[in-house]
Amino acid sequence: MARYWLMKSEPDKYGWERLVADGETVWDGVRNHLAAMNLRAMAVGDLAFLYHSVSDKAVVGVMEITRAGLTDPTDPDGKWATVYVKPVKALPRPVTLAEIKVDPALEGIQLVRLSRLSVAELTLAEWAHILALAET
> Mean pLDDT score of the chain, rounded to an integer?
96
Tell me the C-alpha distance between 128 and 134, whole Å: 10
Hey, which residues does 65 pair with through a beta bridge? 85
Instruction: Quote the pTM value.
Output: 0.95
Given CATH 3.40.605.10, say whether it is the number of domain 4-134. Answer: no
What's the rounded Cα separation, in Å, for the pair 86 and 108? 27
Give per-residue pLDDT as tens, 34-71: 999 999 999 999 999 999 999 999 999 999 999 999 99
Beta strands in 10-118 (DSSP E): 25-26, 47-52, 58-71, 81-96
